[in-house]
Structure 1
């Protein structure tokens, strides 16, 4: 019942638009700050790895191993992906363009930040993003998804005409 309300109600679509725009603004401003402020993920990654040790570790060993083996050697790539990922997720959520994909990428980044021992607003953003993901198309109903998704569906997944679906019979010899 609640799922149906999230997916089909026009009033809920309006509420989701506010949540979507709020989240988009949070992502966009954080990303622009990183892009223009000389962000470098190396220090963040090293800090997260350090949080895996000690008496009360806040980062699990498996995540620290991933950070040490993959993220730290590729820190330049992760710097680029985080900064521009935040900007693009923010723009997409604000505009309501590819809303579900943007929300999915945002929630993945939030979980990565949580796994790295950063609390901040990540929990709140995960909760709000979950509503957007569960709502599906309704979350972007009052955004560009309303126009773009039907266009793409019609353009690339057109229904076949009757003539195309008729199975041609093989030649029968008499």
Structure 2
């Protein structure tokens, strides 16, 4: 019953718009701050690895291994991806454009930060973003998705209606 309501109700669309704007503003301000402040993820990544030791580690060993083997050697790339990722997720949520995709990538980043031992507002943003993801199209209905999603559906329907497969 709740799922049907959150996916179809106009009232839910209004509430989701408020949630979407709040979460989007949080992302866009964080991303903008990183882009204009010369963000470097190296210190954060090394701090996360340091928190993987001791009696009660805040970071699990498998995640610390990923950070040591992949993220830290490519800290410049990760700094770029985090800064621009936060800005673009925020922009997508604020505009209501490709809302579900923006929410997915936002929740992906939130979980990455949580895995790295940072709580801050990440848990709250995960919870709010779950509502956006569950709502699907209704979360962006009061936004650009009202126009973008039907256009994408029409384009993909026309492309694959002639029997052409995705693999072709």
User: In the alignment, what sits opposite 2:72?
Assistant: 72
Who is 1:27 aligned against?
Answer: 27
Structural mapping, 1:71-150, within 5 Å:
71-150=71-150
Cα shift at 1:160: 8.2
CA RMSD of aligned residues (A): 1.5
- The runs of 4+ residues in structure 1 deviating greater than 4 Å are none
CA deviation after TM superposition for structure 1 residue 158, in Å: 2.8
How far is the alpha carbon of 1:154 from its aligned partner? 1.2
Cα distance 1:160–1:109, how it changes in 2: closer, same or farther (>3 A)? Answer: closer
State the secondary structure of the residue aligned to 2:39.
coil
The residue aligned with 1:42 is: 42
| Equivalent residue, structure 2, for 1:59 | 59
Match of 2:157 in 1: 157
Structure 2 unaligned residues grouped into runs of 5+: 164-168
Q: In structure 2, what is the Cα distance between the partners aligned to 1:160 and 1:62? A: 41
User: 1:35 Cα deviation (Å)?
Assistant: 0.4
Structure 1 stretch displaced more, 29-38 or 151-160? 151-160
Q: Secondary structure at the match of 1:158?
A: helix
1:153 Cα offset (Å): 1.2
What TM-score do the two structures reach when normalised by structure 1?
0.90
In 2: Cα distance, 1:71 partner to 1:117 partner: 15
Count of aligned pairs: 163
TM-score (norm 2): 0.94
TM-superposed deviation, 1:156: 2.6
Q: Deviation of residue 155 (structure 1)?
A: 2.2
Distance 1:56 1:150 in 2: 50
Long gaps (5+) in structure 1 = 166-174
Distance, in Å, in 1 between the alignment partners of 2:85 and 2:69 is 22
Measure, in 2, the Cα distance between the counterparts of 1:6 and 1:128: 13
Distance in 2 between residues matched to 1:53 and 1:8, nearest whole Å: 47
